[in-house]
Structure 1
Amino acid sequence: MNKTYDSIVRRDIVICQPKEGFRFSVDAVMLADFVKPSSKAKTIDIGSGSGVIAALLAKVKGCTDIDALELQENMFSCLTETVEINGLEDIVKPVQGDLRIYRPDFHYDAAVCNPPYRKESSGKIPPTLTERTARFNETMTLDDLFGFCKSFLKSGGSLSICIDSDLLADVFVTARKNRLEPKRMRLVHPDGQTVARTALIEFRRDGRAELVTEPPLIMRINGEYTEEMRRITGAL
């Protein structure tokens, strides 16, 4: 597999990823920015891919204890390189495994996930298995994600996700079924005249019913990144 090594947000953050096939999107960078972790929290990055979110949480947010769970062998190879390149061996632990059968013998303080959005029948099918696994929910459904967090997040622990905004009803139903309450949400709009494309949401296990909707994140004005998006992405 041919790989590239790309700096993101800051020059000292380098991500290893496949040259062809699935490559990380700006959604992962926005989600890492949205997360408000405690630096000492035991965190799991679910479906870590090439390690974008884990690296940003460690290097930008100051997290010190992260498990990065990834199913696919080729993406796990990139994840491992990302950890090594950025000198994060003492902070980020790559774990190759399937969320549906991964059973740690402890509970996490926080989880973060940029999950596969759709059923495979709901859109154009990507040509490679890596892309299909990353974009569709055949290997990790919302029930899988929230069910895991119900079992392996501490009471009061957080789950932060980025999800297509038109799936919000399904997300909220599944979350409450698994004792995860939405506490904070930010809608992301491609521009100031377009409906929201995605939603950034923080849930709390066993939390009270109280949702704060933050000001919307506008990605572009007149085709150019807004000042906030330039801050978040380092003008990728």
Structure 2
Amino acid sequence: MYRRLHMKKKLNFILILTILIFLYIVLLSFNYSQAISYNLSDSVFRLHIIANSDSSADQELKLKVRDKIIEYMNTLTSSSSDKKDVISMVNNHLDSFKEIALNTIKENGYNYDVNIEIGNFHFPTKSYGDISFPAGNYDALKIEIGDAIGQNWWCVLFPPLCFVNSSTGVVPDDSKNTLKENINSESYEIISEGNNSNDNTSDIKIKFKIIEFLNNFSK
């Protein structure tokens, strides 16, 4: 009887200890991910476009708007190397961005309205070629087309990561160098982990996804 009671207490102790260790690891991982997210948030400016609906036509229209927006963005900020300058420039040309979006929509036979704003918005874990960004709040240019209930399209306007080589899935070196110059080396190593290994790239994406899930679960 005493032996069984002792064994039960021992098992309970092991269970509690295991849970505490697990929670401690989760907390450390979450704080680490948040630290990376904060560091990135201070250095990048993102783009978020929401389609009118999930119909194939509206999704195709969203991509056409995206292409025109990025094309114009590149003409404005091609020589910029600082996030604040980029945001200031975009803010000064918000009317032009909206006009471009509206004209693109009209040229394709639609009359959707467009809402456009700069703000701090939540982004899920996303990968751009061989670079992975953890979930978190980031400064971004958000463009809502029509009812804005369709699928999202996300990318990074600064440093320019919106166009990744589709055949290799690799971010251009110029964009990587700009990113390196604007974040600390530790954060860069984490988000670019696995540049030469698909397995490592998948690992870091899975880690970020698990932390994102736990963060959402705790809310």
TM-score (norm 2): 0.26
Query: Which structure has more strand as a fraction of its residues?
Result: 1
- Determine which structure has more spread, i.e. the larger CA radius of gyration: 2
Structure with greater contact order relative to length (CA < 8 Å, sep ≥ 6): 2
